[in-house]
Amino acid sequence: MENKKIRMEILAAVFAFVMMLMSASNVTAEDSWNDITDLSQADGTWKATVSQTATEGDMDFKVVVEMTMIIDADTETVSASMKMTIIFTGSDDYTWQVLKAEAADAEEDLIIDDKRRSITMPETAISTESISLSDMDELKINQDGTKMRGYDHDLGEMIFTRGK
């Protein structure tokens, strides 16, 4: 039991570390970032996918977080959803078995794929909330309005691309 707890603490630390290392890989040198001065600039659907890898012992972790944010400037609302997958590779079968067992015992409806050695938290929707221009203070938009950059205290820097 103590081994399971230690392994889960390691996983949590690795995940937190990976999230802190996220980079804005889809930002180009041509992007210039400006404050959002009107909510209509951010109107629409925005998507971001963040993927990072880390190694702990003989186990590699790949964390993929897919996020969608919908801003409706007319109704001044925002809604969002997120899906996270952690893929484990490497020769440490014991760690995978422990992580899989812990995930199976979790209260969340996690999807465990033994063949892929992955654990997925299904897409979760965040309720629609009201939004105002002052809520956009921490977001920046690029010069042509196709990318939005923000920072989340848990996830780090995120680059959203305007969706279709």
pLDDT at 13: 42
Count each helix (H run) and each strand (E run) in the chain, helices first.
2, 9
The vertex-11 CA angle with 8 and 15, nearest 5°, equals 140
pLDDT 10s per residue in the chain (164 long)? Answer: 444 444 444 444 444 444 444 333 444 558 899 999 999 999 999 999 988 888 888 889 899 989 999 999 999 999 999 999 999 998 878 888 988 898 888 877 899 999 999 999 988 887 788 999 998 888 999 999 999 998 877 667 889 999 86
pLDDT at 8: 45
Amino acid at 108: E
Reported pTM: 0.71
pLDDT at 122: 84
pLDDT at 163: 84
d(CA 67, CA 100): 24
